[in-house]
Chains A and B, each alone.
Chain A
Amino acid sequence: MTVIDDRLNAIRGAAPRKPHNARTLAALAANPGCRRRTLMDAAGVNKALIADRLGYGMTVGQMSSIALARGKSFEAQVKAEGGNDLLRLLRLHLDLPTAQAHYHDLNPADDDDRISARLRRSQRALEEAARASDPVGTMFDHPILQLTMNGVRVHIEPDLIAFKFGDRFHIVEIKSFPIVDGVADSGKVAAAAQQAAVYVLAMREMLQTAGLSPELVSHEVILVCPRDFSNQPVAELVDVRKPLASLRRHLTRMESIDTLLPILPPSLTFDLVLDATGQPTRSPDDLAASVAQVSARYSPDCLQSCELAGVCRAEANGTVPVLGRVVREELGGIDSIAEAIALATGGRVPDDSQREAARLLRTAYQMRQQALEAMR
């Protein structure tokens, strides 16, 4: 246990740790400037409970249980019979020379299987496979990977890795959104690519630590989705070099936890102080005061990816970012809505940094008034 881990545990309090997953990592990379989310995720705080206690509970990124069940059954179907179906798919759609392959199950052996033990097992298996010159491929089911993120080690769990198509690792992502006539929803593919990039990066990091070439992990991931309206899987290669590059950039830009912790008060905690029945007893005001001590960077996109978004939106009320990225960029340098209106109506003299935006706003406002008056 390091000092940082102790601090993070104190910040989380008695609640169980809510681990990162590829989805939260990808979401974090979407808004790297948000300290509040960086800290809470690093500490494993359950943000949904905090938001509930503050009265801004939201159902964010929550997947339908029906969709989850269907996703699981599709994944099971693809991986059935030791990945036989998957191999056939890769031969058929991607022309991969895979006559046969071993299947290595890295799923938890039982409920007691600790994540650290699984991580060690996965690492050993993957490194061995990387060194081996066996021409027969191996598929690794649910390995555990580790990624260092703003100074904290994070465990993640991809669906599957297939080894040695050629002499490389390929990440296989199984998703339940459809590919209709060769086209899938671009937003969903982008999200899947983001997630896969996290896996590629983690795997490369692992190989590098073991003294192997990170290039062994291909930047082309294999996306397996249902075809058209059926349950039949289809495989496509997705190039993740772009999301990989942006993820790397975000990770390096992200404030490291060890530089963030010293500027926060030592007593800071988001503990909800649960009573014997599991009900939070901490006063919302006190909790809100703690939350306010860590600055957030709200943008409406948070509403789709962060459970705390309602809290931050209420806090950002009256500022331009609440109106969206485009408005924020258009009004560059003006932060408050009241100020923007004052500049537009001429009730306020702009400072140097606002001159350009203010001139445009002022003209726009005059034209607007002119048009509206003509209408009356």
Chain B
Amino acid sequence: MTVMSSLARVLAAGSKTPQRVTLYRHLHVSEQPIVMVPIILAGETNAPLAVMVGSDPGQPEVIVTRQPRERAERLRFAERLAGHLLFPIASMAATTQRVDTRRPELSVRATQAPQVWVPNPAGVDYVRLLGRMTRFRSSEGPWAVAPSVRQLGIWLTWLAEQAEFADSCVLVPATRALSAVWATGQSDVEDGNLAAVMAWLAPPPGMAIIDAARRAEDPAVCPPAGPATDPTFDRLFLQPTLRDLASAATELARRQVLHRLTGMLVEQMRPTWDLVWQAIDLLGAEPPAARVARRWERQRDRFTAFHHYVSDGGYPQAKRDNAVRGAQRLAEMEQRLASFDAERAYDDPLVLADYRLAGEAFAGEVVASDPHRRVRGAQRSVTRPLVTVTTTDPVRLDVGQQVHDPSRNGQRALITSLDEATDGWIVELELQDKMGRGRAPEPGSVPAVGDEVVYTALADTFVRRGRAWPARENIPWTHGGPPPEPVPVPEDAVEDWS
């Protein structure tokens, strides 16, 4: 959190209305989102109890385990879930478009990528753990499962891994997506509860926000968004029903209990299901930022590449990363976070304001401009206009530092002098590029006197760091040495069976 978002929270609490923290939505919202509302059995490791899944807000698919304590049933549950998730993934990967790219290996891109919505970050953990539980399953041997179970595991793991990246949008926790756009007048602890956030953003008709937020905390009216269930629900409803299920003597009796169980679980999931769809609608109605489409393209590239990997019979992801894989992932995370931060700041004045407050960017008015100034370069003279800007922002930049102009596609400028004025700074800049090929700069490429301009030290360019990582067989002993070959071991299938 930053000063800007703290201010937004304070304003929201004072005015009792939510406040924007960004002007635009920086998350791509798919036209065919898949919503997943899972709940698990308390006390067990991610033991699936039920899930509501699907792309039709009016008609959720409901999957309930026949016996949550039985491990074989958990895998049958995964098999049924696979039926609902793998089909959209496969059909999205099947529709591709050609793209012009310098990289030869990727000349097609899927026109769609899956976007799975879960209510909260705990839902992301659920996806990760369910992926871990299923991806090492073998479809042969004594503990054989349907091949789709393993496929599901690989895809769920991919989704959860992608969710660790700041700019990814294939697995979206609704609470976080909402908090990225709006600040509520409550703390982030309360904002972790989807019902409480939605109480601020879309209170039930005729209800005041404060009452709605209070109501959202009553698990009897607003069941928790999962995956964990409400302890009172467990004690009063779930536990007796599970007991009945275990003791049901006939198939008919069992089916009756199961019917009852399904009914009560649907009651627990349905409100959250509706809230997630409402959240998607709210976010979908927001204007997207300019660079959202580009990020979604990159995301679709990653999806396409991973789909190729899977259809070529790729191994399930390792349990732990080896040293090189870990370093690569960290580097990628840092890089994607940095470029996501820069892109958001370029697109959104409200995000940029945070950098202005910190002195890493400034906005001001052009007081002098010399667009035709030329200096001698290495071989020939080049256009290097000088622009002088006055600003009241607290600038914390240095002479010689490179800054960029977000509104001119990241045009580079060097700070040539910095002088303190009575209320702010006078900054002189030398523009470096993006002025066209001609002798004179293209019209509009150099700000004129009186223009409002913004410069920031953030660079929007996508830097691929050409680090030489050792090959897996050359990992030095200091980093664990070469990892063992990823051969699926049959014990992986055994481990859960106790």
Q: Could you tell me which A residues sit within 8 Å of B by CB distance? A: 58-59, 62-71, 176-178, 180-182, 226-232, 300-301, 303-304, 310, 318, 320, 322-324, 326-327, 330-331, 337-338, 340-341, 344, 360-361, 363-365, 367-368, 370-372, 374-375
> Can you identify 30 A-B contacts, CB atoms within 8 angstroms?
A64-B43, A66-B234, A66-B242, A67-B234, A181-B132, A228-B45, A230-B497, A231-B498, A300-B187, A300-B189, A300-B190, A304-B189, A320-B10, A323-B9, A327-B9, A327-B10, A337-B13, A340-B10, A341-B10, A344-B7, A344-B11, A360-B3, A360-B357, A363-B357, A363-B394, A367-B353, A368-B353, A370-B363, A371-B350, A372-B23
In Å, the complex CA distance between A337 and B43 comes to: 40
Closest to A367 in B: B353
Known: A231-B498, A330-B3. A364 touches B357 (CB 8 A): yes
CA distance A318 to B234 in the complex (A): 35
**The 7 A-B residue pairs with the shortest CB-CB distance in the complex, in nearest-first order:** A67-B43, A70-B43, A324-B187, A64-B42, A300-B187, A300-B189, A371-B349
Cβ–Cβ < 8 Å partners of B497 in chain A: 230
Identify which of residues 349-363 in chain B touch chain A, using a CB-to-CB cut-off of 8 Å.
349-350, 352-353, 356-357, 363
Map CB proximity to A onto B9-35 as digits: 1 under 8 Å, 0 otherwise: 111011000001001000000000000
Is residue B46 within 8 Å, beta carbon to beta carbon, of the partner chain?
yes
Assuming the contacts A59-B231, A182-B320, A330-B6, asked whether A229 and B189 have C-beta atoms less than 8 A apart, the reply is no
Q: Closest residue of chain B to A182, judged by CB?
A: B320
A64 and B350: CB pair below 8 A? no
Name, among A59, A70, A326, A371, the residue most crowded by chain B CB atoms within 10 Å (CB to CB): A371
Q: Are B3 and A59 in contact (CB under 8 A)?
A: no
- CB contacts under 8 Å to A, within B36-51, are 41-46
User: Which of the residues B42, B189, B230, B498 comes within 8 Å of A301, measured between beta carbons?
Assistant: B189
Chain B residue contacts of A364, Cβ below 8 A = 3-4, 7, 353, 357
Specify which of A64, A230, A322 is in contact with B13 (CB 8 Å cutoff).
A322
Contact B189 A367 (CB under 8 A): no
In the complex, chain B residues whose CB is within 8 Å of the CB of A66: 41-43, 234, 238-239, 242
**Contact at A327–B350, with CB atoms within 8 Å?**
no
Q: Which residues of B contact A176 (CB under 8 A)?
A: 43
Q: Does B498 contact A64, Cβ atoms closer than 8 Å?
A: no
* Residues of B contacting A368 in the complex (Cβ-Cβ under 8 angstroms): 4, 7-8, 350, 353
User: Which chain A residue lies CB-closest to B228?
Assistant: A64
Instruction: Check B231–A64 contact: CB distance below 8 A.
Output: yes
Residues 455-481 of chain B, each 1 if its beta carbon lies under 8 Å from chain A, else 0: 000000000000000000000000000
> A181–B43 contact, CB under 8 A?
no
Which of B1, B23, B129, B235 is the one whose CB lies under 8 Å from A375? B23
A68 interface neighbour in B43, B232, B238, Cβ under 8 Å: B43
- Give, as a whole number of angstroms, the nearest-CB distance from B419 to chain A: 20
Minimum CB distance partner of A176 in chain B: B43
CB distance from B424 to the nearest CB of A (A): 11
Taking A66-B238, A229-B46, A324-B189 as known contacts, 15 extra A-B pairs with beta carbons closer than 8 A to each other, sorted by chain A number, are: A62-B232, A65-B231, A66-B41, A177-B45, A230-B498, A310-B217, A323-B185, A326-B6, A327-B187, A330-B3, A344-B11, A364-B7, A364-B357, A368-B4, A371-B352
User: Is there a chain A Cβ closer than 8 Å to B118's Cβ?
Assistant: no
Q: A231 to B238: give the CA distance in the assembly, Å.
A: 22
Which residue of B6, B23, B189, B495 contacts A371 across the interface (Cβ within 8 Å)? B23
- Using a CB–CB cutoff of 8 Å, the interface residues on chain B facing chain A are 1-4, 6-11, 13-14, 20, 23, 41-46, 71, 129, 132-133, 185-190, 217, 219, 228-232, 234-235, 238-239, 242, 319-320, 349-350, 352-353, 356-357, 363, 393-394, 495-498
* Choice from B3, B129, B133, B186 contacting A323 with Cβ under 8 Å: B186
- Min Cβ gap B226→A in Å is 13
In the complex, A250 Cα to B79 Cα: how many Å? 51
Chain A residues whose CB sits within 8 angstroms of the CB of B133 once the complex forms = 229
CB-contact partner of B10 in A65, A232, A331, under 8 A: A331
Nearest-CB distance from B453 to chain A (Å)? Answer: 14
Nearest B residue to A180, CB-CB: B132
Q: Which of A304, A310, A360 has the most CB of B within 10 A?
A: A360
B238 and A229 within 8 A (CB): no
Chain B residues with Cβ below 8 Å from A322 are 13, 186-187
Alpha-carbon distance A66/B228, docked complex (angstroms): 11
Max chain A C-beta neighbours (<10 A), residue from B3, B23, B319: B3
On chain B, the residues within 8 Å of A178 by CB distance are 45
Residue of A nearest to B45 (CB): A178
Q: How many inter-chain contacts with C-beta < 8 Å in the A-B complex?
A: 152
Residues of chain B within 8 A (CB-CB) of A301 are: 189
Query: What separation, in Å, do the CA atoms of A64 and B11 have in the docked complex?
Result: 38
Given the known interface contacts A63-B231, A361-B7, the answer about A300 and B188 at a Cβ–Cβ threshold of 8 Å is yes
Q: A290 → chain B, closest Cβ, in Å? A: 24
Q: Contact at B235–A64, with CB atoms within 8 Å?
A: yes
Contact of A65 with B23 in the complex, beta carbons under 8 Å? no
Q: How far is the CA of A64 from the CA of B226 in the complex (A)?
A: 13
Cα A71 to Cα B43 in complex, Å, equals 7
A331 and B13 alpha carbons, distance in the complex (Å): 14
Which residues from B are CB-within-8-Å of A331? 6, 10
| Nearest CB of B to A300, in Å | 4
Could you tell me the distance between the alpha carbons of A54 and B158 in the complex, rounded to whole angstroms? 48
> Which residues from B are CB-within-8-Å of A330?
1-3, 6
Q: Is the CB of B496 within 8 A of A228?
A: yes
Q: How far is the CA of A230 from the CA of B494 in the complex (A)?
A: 10
Most buried by B among A301, A318, A337: A337
B74 to chain A, nearest CB (A): 8
Residue of A nearest to B318 (CB): A181
Report how far A66 CA is from B242 CA in the complex, Å: 10
Measured between alpha carbons, how far is A58 from B44 in the docked complex, in Å? 24
Partner of B43, one of A69, A318, A340: A69
**Chain A: which residue is nearest B190 at the CB level?**
A300
**Chain A nearest CB, measured from B215 CB (Å):** 13
Q: B353 contacts A371, CB within 8 Å?
A: yes
Whether A341 and B11, one on each chain, are in contact in the complex, defined by CB atoms closer than 8 angstroms, is: yes
Interface-central residue, A64, A232, A340, A374, by most chain B CB under 10 Å: A64
Report the bound CA distance from A118 to B3 in whole Å: 54
Q: Which residues of B contact A70 (CB under 8 A)?
A: 42-44
A310 to B356, CA, bound (A): 38
Contacts of A68 in B (CB 8 A): 43
Report yes or no: B20 in contact with A372, Cβ–Cβ below 8 A: yes
B187 contact set on A, CB distance < 8 A: 300, 322-324, 327
Question: From residue A360, how far is it (CB to closest CB) to chain B in Å?
Answer: 6
Contact residue among A229, A231, A303, A318 (Cβ-Cβ distance under 8 Å from B190): A303
Chain A residues near B13 (CB-CB < 8 A): 318, 322-323, 337
B4→A181 contact, CB < 8 A: no
Q: How far is the CA of A374 from the CA of B353 in the complex (A)?
A: 13
Q: Which residue of B lies closest to A183 (CB)?
A: B320
List the B side residues contacting A180 at CB < 8 Å: 45, 129, 132
Are B229 and A64 within 8 A (Cβ)? yes
B73 to chain A, nearest CB (A): 13
* Docked CA distance A338–B11 (Å): 9
Whether B189 contacts A303 by the Cβ 8 Å rule is yes
Q: Which residues in A have their C-beta under 8 angstroms from that of B7?
A: 344, 361, 364-365, 368
A372: which B residues are within 8 A, CB to CB?
20, 23, 350
**Which A residues are CB-close (under 8 A) to B498?**
230-232
Q: What residues on B are CB-neighbors of A320 within 8 Å?
A: 10
The answer to whether B231 touches A326 (Cβ under 8 A) is: no
Q: For the complex formed, measure the closest distance between the CB of A78 and the CB atoms of chain B, giving whole angstroms.
A: 13
Return chain B residues, CB-CB under 8 Å to A363. 357, 393-394
- Contact present for B132 and A226 (CB under 8 Å): no
Q: Give A326 to B8 CA distance when docked, in angstroms.
A: 13
